[in-house]
């Protein structure tokens, strides 16, 4: 995971070791983090090849025709992409540590909530990647979305959306919740009110204490530093490797 991001002109890496899946990823991509969370939660052996999204290697298009990440290369050579499709495949293929709710109706309801969360994702992306004017409509979309999830967690009365431990819904929304604190700097500093999202904030704290989450989690300061480089037009994907700290 602590390898540099491969770019145009780089050599294609050798095949993954026997018994391992290969995840083509990017250190700062929340969609890739989704798959790391699933792989770690299910204790599946894998390695990571990081891809520079501004200068993708030519050979990568032979693996992922649209150049998308994440892409998961299976042992038999097949490749899957789109984070939700990969996550569902992994949960069905590897039955240990099942993440989806076993009840078909609850599983469907959780999938609807993941789709609903996409509105929050899109609004966050616009706020964090735009420079200058902030659209108040995006703030409202995020506030409404978080309110719905706050209510959902309260109604379930459980520590996690998945019950006593994080399930698929928890893992699919976590990467953006991990990044939520940076909205206070690049968005509306009043957006995340403690009294309004008490259950969600307690959920966030519990999530950060989970070993599965810790493996891919980065501090807000790291996300902020990367985002500053992105907004300056020079995304520093290898800033962690280049750090002298």
177 labelled catalytic = no
- 142 lies in the same domain as 202: yes
- 88 lies in the same domain as 108: no
CA distance 217 to 211: 10
- 110 lies in the same domain as 205: yes
Percent share of the chain, pLDDT over 90: 77
- 84 lies in the same domain as 129: no
231 falls within a domain: no
User: Residue 97's closest CA among 45, 41, 171, 173?
Assistant: 41
CA distance 201 to 171: 15
**C-alpha dihedral, 18 to 23 to 26 to 28, nearest 10°:** -110
- 157 lies in the same domain as 202: yes
CATH of the domain at 109: 1.20.1050.10
Q: Where in the sequence is the domain holding 42, given as residue range(s)?
A: 21-93
Taking the CB of residue 177, how many other CB atoms lie within 10 A of it? 21
224 falls within a domain: no
- 166 lies in the same domain as 129: yes
Residues 140-161, mean pLDDT to the nearest whole number: 94
CATH of the domain at 81: 3.40.30.10
- 159 lies in the same domain as 189: yes
CA distance 167 to 9: 40
Residues 151-177, mean pLDDT to the nearest whole number: 97
Single out the catalytic residue among 6, 16, 23, 29: 29
Sheet holding 46-50, edge to edge: 46-50, 21-25, 71-73, 79-81
The domain boundary residue, chosen from 48, 63, 93? 93
Percent share of the chain, pLDDT over 70: 93
> Helix 220-231 vs helix 104-129: angle between axes, to the nearest 10 degrees?
50
pLDDT digits (tens, 9 = 90+) for 60-85: 999 999 999 999 999 988 999 999 99
Report the predicted TM-score, pTM, of the whole model to 2 decimal places: 0.94
CA distance 178 to 220: 8
- 125 lies in the same domain as 197: yes
CA distance 97 to 137: 39
- 51 lies in the same domain as 75: yes
- 199 lies in the same domain as 117: yes
160 falls within a domain: yes
The domain boundary residue, chosen from 93, 122, 139? 93
- 120 lies in the same domain as 179: yes
Q: Which residue has the tokens 């699933």?
A: 38
> pLDDT class for 245, splitting at 50, 70, 90?
very low
The sign one gets for the Cα dihedral 14, 74, 28, 66 is positive
- 120 lies in the same domain as 89: no
192 falls within a domain: yes
Q: What is the CA angle 127-131-133, rounded to 5?
A: 75
pLDDT digits (tens, 9 = 90+) for 204-214: 999 999 999 99
For the chain, the average pLDDT equals 92
């Amino acid at each position: 995971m602590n390898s540099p991001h491969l770019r145009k002109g780089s050599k294609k890496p050798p095949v993954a070791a026997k018994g391992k899946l290969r995840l083509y990823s990017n250190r700062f991509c929340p969609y890739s983090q989704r798959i790391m969370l699933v792989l770690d939660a299910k204790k599946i052996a894998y390695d990571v090849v990081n891809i520079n999204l501004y200068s993708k290697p030519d050979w990568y298009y032979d693996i992922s025709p649209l150049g998308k990440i994440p892409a998961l290369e299976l042992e038999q050579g097949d490749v899957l992409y789109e984070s939700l499709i990969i996550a569902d495949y992994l949960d069905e293929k590897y039955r240990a540590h099942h993440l989806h709710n076993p009840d078909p109706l609850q599983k469907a309801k959780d999938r609807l909530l993941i789709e609903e969360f996409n509105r929050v994702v899109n609004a966050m992306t616009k706020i964090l990647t735009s420079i200058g004017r902030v659209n108040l409509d995006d703030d409202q979309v995020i506030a409404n979305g978080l309110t719905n999830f706050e209510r959902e967690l309260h109604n379930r009365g459980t520590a996690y959306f998945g019950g006593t431990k994080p399930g698929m819904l928890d893992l699919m929304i976590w990467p953006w919740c991990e990044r939520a604190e940076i909205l206070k700097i690049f968005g509306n500093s009043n957006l995340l009110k403690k009294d309004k999202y008490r259950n969600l904030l307690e959920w966030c704290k519990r999530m950060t204490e989970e070993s599965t989450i810790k493996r891919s989690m980065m501090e807000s300061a790291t996300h902020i530093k990367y985002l500053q480089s992105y907004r300056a037009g020079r995304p520093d994907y290898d800033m962690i490797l280049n750090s002298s700290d």
